[in-house]
Chains A and B, each alone.
Chain A
Amino acid sequence: MNSTNRSGAVHVQGVSKRYGNVTAIHELDLKIEDGSYCCLLGPSGCGKTSLLRMIAGHETPTTGLISIGSVDVTQLAPSLRGTAMMFQSYALFPHLSVADNVAFALKMRGQGEVERRDRARELLTKVALEAYADRFPSQLSGGQQQRVALARALITNPKVVLLDEPLSALDEHLRIRMRAELRQMQRELGITFIHVTHSQLEAIALADKVVVMTQGRIEQAASAREIFASPRNAHVARFIGGQNVIAGEVQAVHGSEVLLRSAGGEQLHIASAASQPDIGSAAQAAVRRDRISVERVLPSGRHAPDNTLSGNVDAIEYQGSFVKVTVNVKSGEEFVAQLSDEQFFATPLRVGERVHVCWRVEDSLLLEGAPAMGAAVASSISTTAAPLLRPGRVAALT
């Protein structure tokens, strides 16, 4: 196929990056499909920007290969990779007009003025800024600057557009609008977009593929829906939000269901998709925050819930379409139930009230990675929940 050279599929193989003694990225593998919208998501310092800059060619990996389409670009100059980067600050040249900014790459290639003018106008039309061609960047709003930066990046006909926190400089309303514009632009162009962000909302709204990173490692790379609904481990579950994480000990395994004894001593039935944990091993489970019912009186008989934890209401936060109820359960971590406003206001709860939080097996998920290996988890259990545990159980958990 002749499209292999035009392909914007990005393949990262065994890439690591060290700065002196600090390892920013550990041996990382990632495949990004041609024409997809990929978000690199993680807290600051997780290595997502380093990875982006290595794909762009502004930094060189310490080890590993990066290829775009079928070309190994690891050692290529940024402008020879078929990538175009949009910087967080947009980096529009302040001394050049909008049109000159957009046409900059063509000028560097020595293209004629007429050609440059036509092409710049074409791209400015694409981002609906043709009327601003003669303005200077300082005369534009943040959203307009962002569109100019995009037009400037697109003029080289890149196979891959790299965006470094492109929306972080905008206010909330504009951010949501520009987010939609970016996604629409990517769909129209059909080229690969790789977008670095620390906002899970942004990533979930935009991406075909979300890559969650922490501390220079990929925690999970999957579709937005999968990342949200089936986080692979506690890191992802916590970072994406929308899930409560419960630590416990595996007591029994029945097919695709695991019996987990929580740190608070409750027996919980947790769905376990793939892994078959060892009995007696420490494990963590995620529970969808929007699939939890909060009851004053525990239903019994046929309506008895699969799982129940009890505690006092710690905080109630109105969020518009839903109400966030934080319940102080014995398992130690913050436990949140998101109730629809209708549901909540039918029988409003009060802070301090004793309640039971209930959910079905299928709304929970056993997470990968035993927490016992992390001393942090063990100590968080022993510090926050120790008074509730008998010494023997702490020993079993750690």
Chain B
Amino acid sequence: MAATLRRSRPWTFYALLAFFCLFVLFLYGPMSVIYVLSFQSRDGGLTFPMRGASLHWFQALVEQRQVGDLHAAFARSLSLAVLSALLTVVVSACAGFAFRRGFRGSGTVFYLAVSSLVMPGIFVGLGIALTFQALGLQASWWVSGLAAQLTWTLPFGLLIMFAILGRLDKSYEEAAADLGASAWQRVRHVTLPIILPGLIGVALFGFTLSYDEFPRTILTAGSGTTLPIEIWTMTTNVTSPALYAVGTVTTVVSFIVIACALVAIVRIQRHRATRRDTSLIETKDLQQQ
């Protein structure tokens, strides 16, 4: 069947396929170069050809001789990302429910929330930094920095919640109400479990958007820099493949987070499809079948 399909494909298919391959190459090629070059030996440089192969530059990262504040910056970025993810989930879930129910001025609130997506990030950061200064407050990564990042992650979270709640059939809640569930029980036993995979998705978005956020953070993080800012600084003063090793490591961290989230979602869904709940009724049908 595949053969007959392939025979019937027009030339445009191959043209578009070639275009897509070029796109993929453009997308992942430069990144791959960085990953490859990070595995050079001690006398490797910033460009090809590759000189030797070793984990030397990763070692250098661990030893923290020539990489400045990198470890602390990594820790800060990670905690910021986790905080942003949690706050994004909580706030956008609550906001999503409010919008689902509808309230006066919801349209205006929605546009206000989402318009921060189109504002240039660097100016959002600048504005927050200036405001802090005017109020005599100390800018720090976990106050002004976090706030600046939330202006970026929350609108995304809200938009995703709209998609999730838009697919949530209202009759689930009505059925629960019909069966005597209070408002809180409806949320706790029906709505939240049903939208849980979606919430994990929101958290993942919050995490990754925050983890590599640069324009809003650079002016609001105060003296404690985050990983992207640290890497930016390194590009100007570090002239060794250690920089590339940082790139490889942060990419691995991102992939681990994404993989965890996906595994969680898949597990929840599989659990729904095949779980044998023995809490209520013993697995009697197993014997019967």
Contacts and interface: CB of A to CB of B under 8 A. Distances in A.
Interface of A: 56-58, 77-79, 83-85, 87-89, 91, 93-97, 99-100, 103-105, 107-109, 113, 116-117, 120-121, 130-136, 138-139, 152-153, 155-156
A120 B177 contact: no
A310 B288 CA distance: 66
Contacts of B189: 104, 107-108
A133 B177 contact: no
B175 interface: yes
B179 A91 contact: no
Interface string B264-289: 00000000111111111101110011
B285 A133 contact: yes
Contact of B285 (A77, A87, A132): A132
Contacts of B196: 95
A248 to B, nearest CB: 47
A47 B180 CA distance: 26
A135 B175 CA distance: 20
B288 to A, nearest CB: 5
B19 interface: no
B180 A79 contact: yes
Contacts of B275: 97, 134, 136
A99 B283 CA distance: 12
Interface in B161-202: 169, 171-172, 174-182, 185, 189-190, 193-194, 196
A88 to B, nearest CB: 7
A156 B272 contact: no
A91 B272 contact: no
A137 B281 CA distance: 16
Given A97-B275, A138-B273, A105 B281 contact: no
Contacts of B274: 136, 139
* Of listed A96, A134, A135, residue having the most chain B CB within 10 A: A134
Contacts of A107: 189
Given A100-B280, A109-B180, A131 B175 contact: no
A89 B180 contact: no
Contact of A131 (B182, B277, B278, B288): B288
Given A107-B189, A117-B280, A133-B280, A93 B178 contact: no
Contact of A58 (B169, B174, B179, B276): B174
A97 B282 CA distance: 12
Contacts of A109: 180
A79 B177 CA distance: 7
Given A133-B285, A134-B285, A91 B171 contact: yes
Contacts of A108: 176, 179-182, 185, 189
B169 A133 contact: no
B101 to A, nearest CB: 15
29 contacts: A79-B180, A83-B178, A85-B174, A88-B171, A91-B172, A94-B194, A95-B193, A95-B196, A95-B272, A96-B193, A97-B275, A97-B277, A99-B280, A100-B277, A105-B180, A107-B189, A108-B181, A113-B280, A116-B280, A121-B281, A130-B284, A131-B285, A131-B289, A133-B285, A134-B276, A134-B285, A136-B275, A138-B272, A156-B179
A58 B172 CA distance: 12
